[in-house]
Structure 1
């Protein structure tokens, strides 16, 4: 009988740790070994997870990826690398905990795969005759391009070219910029992919548009503001051009002032305290969507720094006033009923009292 419980996978033999069979057995679907180490580094920059990471984490992972690419033990035939933790600690100054964290992130992002795990000398089989520690083997991965896309074999010029002299009679030689349209920044493209992915998978409102984002802890409040901003992007198409953290940063003061998603959507289209609606909705002709959103919401900030009451706050105040007036009227009616119920009529009628009064005057 075998041992009970979950066992760690057995390490690939030293002689076959870089073979095609060992390498391809760990490559996930939709990936392949990187064609070049430079292409591998560029593929990391194109990842949405990398572009949307914090600025400090992004810089550290990029430095770590370059350190892994410079480690000895790189095999260009199998695109495998054998990074030594001791070298990463001594030469590049990475703590052991950070090295483990960065390796885990690169594996989760699909740019690294473990071919052979590391092993210390005490766990090395005695029959092998080796008494040294064995480092882990990783394969550098890149995503497989989609097939069926028609590609032109003509190279696209990437710089300005001059017409040859006397190419056309009677025309001067002019500078023609024959280059492809520059792509948007990688970060903006990653933000758009992330937003589209979340919005396409939306099956229910990410946040109730009539509720505020108040929460007990800071983490819960931040998560509520993120979900509310994402739902705001779903309901307002122009806001999908910028990232969800950008929308949350602009709307955060309004969220914490008790505004709801419907209030912000109203403030984007309407001027405060008037029935005037903006003629432009921001779908076309707006280059800086963040500045446009900040300008529209800024109209709802008073000169003293306070906020005008949002539509939901106005409605809540009107409802509270109406309930207070109704409660006061009910109290008056109850008091009048109590006074009428406590009134005791006299024993004699008014005629008897008048007769007695006349008799008293005649006497």
Structure 2
């Protein structure tokens, strides 16, 4: 019996026992009041608080019925070796005796089930709408019995599947991983043969990294010992893309042990780079200034480096994209910028 199937059955038995004894079912509390930042491990985690759902109350019984319905559906997926997206679960629930007012409610129940079971949703057959992005370079994997080399899978590379843990990593000749925010820069690095020149796996993030992409980065770092570097735009949103990769998100605090990559290092565009490289810029928008203030209140940005960069960015009133280095030449970022950044850190 798979671990997922065993835990789903144990959960159902636990709920039944609580109903028979008229006791509350306790599940991890995922609200902000129970999310802790661990400065030693540099990740967000769930605290010890529990949420009580009482079977004899209207609200409690409804939530438990919803959880059991999703758990039963997940059990069927696992037993049949199938999968369903979050959107499909929402539509499937239309045929259940309990329903959801919208997809946000059904998504939240799936997240409650994750936290309660101690499993990622992908492990019990539930996938997000989006896949991870792509990886290019000297990486050989086996997916569904098929061996795939990331450099021979076409110009777009190997598409990262939703359930990365089902992928077997067979071989890797790279010495590092460079994750890039935009797919435009990903294609630029592939075209300039950055994977060869920098002996790296190039991972396209497609903006804020999907869970599958973050899980792959964690596996490459943890299982293969590859250092992970994150290359983003020079703005508060790009910087936070890096921080989510490094320390996880508050929303997924119950999963950050497996998704976060605390060893990841930043090689993205800084406010200092904007000045020193005289990069083309765009004015900061109101939303950018608001985001700067939000980051200042985030304990992950208390580090002197980030304080300095946030202050300078605000003072400049400007931001710069990764592609701004094209001012010098299309290959400048591979020939000059990234090697210089890597030299500083290695």
More relative contact order, 1 or 2 (CA 8 Å, 6+ apart): 2
Bigger Rg, structure 1 or 2 = 1
Higher strand share: 2
| TM-score category, normalised to shorter length | under 0.3
TM-score norm. by structure 2 comes to: 0.25
Normalised by the length of structure 1, the TM-score is: 0.24
